[in-house]
Amino acid sequence: MKEVNSLIIGAGISGLTYANYTTKSYLIVEKENEVGGYCRTIKRNNFVWDYAGHFFHFKTNEFKNKFEQEMKDEDIVYNEKCTKILYKNSFIDYPFQSNIHQLNKSEFIDCLYDLFTKTEKVRYDNFLDMLYGKFGKSIVNKFLKPYNEKLYATDLSKLDVDAMGRFFPYADKESIIKNMKNNNNSSYNSSFLYPKNGASSFINKLYDKLNKNNIILNTTLKEVDINNKIVTLSNGNKIKYNNLINTIPLNKFLDIIGGYEYLIDSMSYNKVLVFNLGFNDKSPLCTKEHWLYIPSKEVNFYRCGFYNNILGDENLSMYIEIGFSKDDSITKEIINEQLKLTLYNLEKIGIISKNMKLVDYIPIVMDPAYIHINSEVEKNIQNLKVDLSKHNIYTIGRYGSWTYNSMEDCMIDAKKLELYLDGD
């Protein structure tokens, strides 16, 4: 029986980062035939597509410098974010609440009036309640409610007040008024870096620094003997560990452990169907935008992004994101229906013309995609993590921690955990 200090489940950015920092023995188990998780890249027919839109935003110099050092021999694109909201056939700068002055006069007055007559609370009941209290009826009903309903594929009143944390673009009355003249639309990710060969370029750098004998692909976790610290893999092998580091979705990990059905049932999330699309010509409408937000319920997708505008390529290369509930089954028939509807809407909006041809496409289902943050569930998960840590089981990463965070956050948490465990 093989023995290791750290058994890492999942070779995404969290698992690879932990392995890069640890000085003790480790083994990574990955179910796919390649590393990266959702941070994988597909190159085909001269198109570069990620599994979804993955762009590198850094809040710390440590990890920004690490990225630039690791990627110094790669072509890196530095972009000031150019994002728009497609609202009633017009482009509005993002975020909507800071740019209501760009609406027509009647709608602008509605938003401004509701903004100044809204009723705020000391404590809000849920995410939707917070939106109405912070921004008023018109801003919420015109953009914040329909867009986020499409994104999360759920009733917003079921989400926690801080469902998006620091990623939500808050704006008070004063900043909204000032923005009417100064046009300051900065946010946590106002600029970003992106490798010309896709997000997996950085993931591969992390992978290349590891001993490949310590990574098992095409293998899943089947059983966990918590008391004896032994796992059984899908290939039949048993591994004895000192620390078990989980980075796969927490609900799926708990299902393997068993005994947590009550918690799994309460863990809400959405699925996202992603279409990576490549065309034979450039877009007649979107020539500089990096991505668009689409609040209209008449359009099946909530967001679309433009790789060609990010990379400086000529022909239209984009991703489309469509939200589904966790209970929805995304079959081949539904994928085909959504592709037809997507192409119809892209032409209706004006992003593509009738003469443009779809050269290639790849559908990807993200399951889970966005976690629905709920304070009661979050409390139970925090208690769970404490209990698991007593058995030397630690669960990290966006889905392992069951949270909403960035790639950099995943790397920071992985390093912190490694320092904590290796320091013992």
pLDDT in tens, 59-103: 888 888 888 888 877 788 888 889 999 999 999 999 999 999 999
Task: Please state the rounded mean pLDDT for residues 371-379.
Answer: 91
Contact 272, 370 (CB under 8 A): yes
Domains of the chain: 2-54+199-267+374-422 (3.50.50.60), 77-94+185-195+270-370 (3.90.660.20), 98-177 (no CATH)
Q: Look at residue 186 in the predicted model and tell me its pLDDT.
A: 54
Q: Look at residue 67 in the predicted model and tell me its pLDDT.
A: 85
Q: Enumerate residues 6+ apart whose C-beta is below 8 A from 31.
A: 218, 219, 220, 248
Radius of gyration of the chain (CA): 22
Alpha-carbon span 133 to 278, nearest angstrom: 42
Q: Has residue 170 got a pLDDT over 80?
A: no
Note the pLDDT tens digit of each residue in 104-127: 999 999 999 999 999 989 999 999
Q: Look at residue 59 in the predicted model and tell me its pLDDT.
A: 83
For residue 195, say if its preceding peptide bond is cis, omega within 30 degrees of 0: no
Write down the pTM of the prediction. Answer: 0.94
Task: Please state the rounded mean pLDDT for residues 203-214.
Answer: 95
- The two tokens of residue 15 are 């698992």
Note the pLDDT tens digit of each residue in 180-203: 777 665 555 677 888 888 889 999
Note the pLDDT tens digit of each residue in 229-282: 999 999 999 999 999 999 999 999 999 999 999 999 999 999 999 999 999 999
pLDDT category at 212 given cuts 50, 70, 90 is very high
- The two tokens of residue 405 are 């965070």
Q: Look at residue 65 in the predicted model and tell me its pLDDT.
A: 86
Q: Enumerate residues 6+ apart whose C-beta is below 8 A from 238.
A: 1, 2, 230, 231, 232
Alpha-carbon span 301 to 127, nearest angstrom: 22
Q: Has residue 141 got a pLDDT over 80?
A: yes
| Mean pLDDT of the residues in the chain | 93
β-pair type (238-246, 230-233):
antiparallel
Q: Look at residue 400 in the predicted model and tell me its pLDDT.
A: 97
Note the pLDDT tens digit of each residue in 306-350: 999 999 999 999 999 999 999 999 999 999 999 999 999 999 999
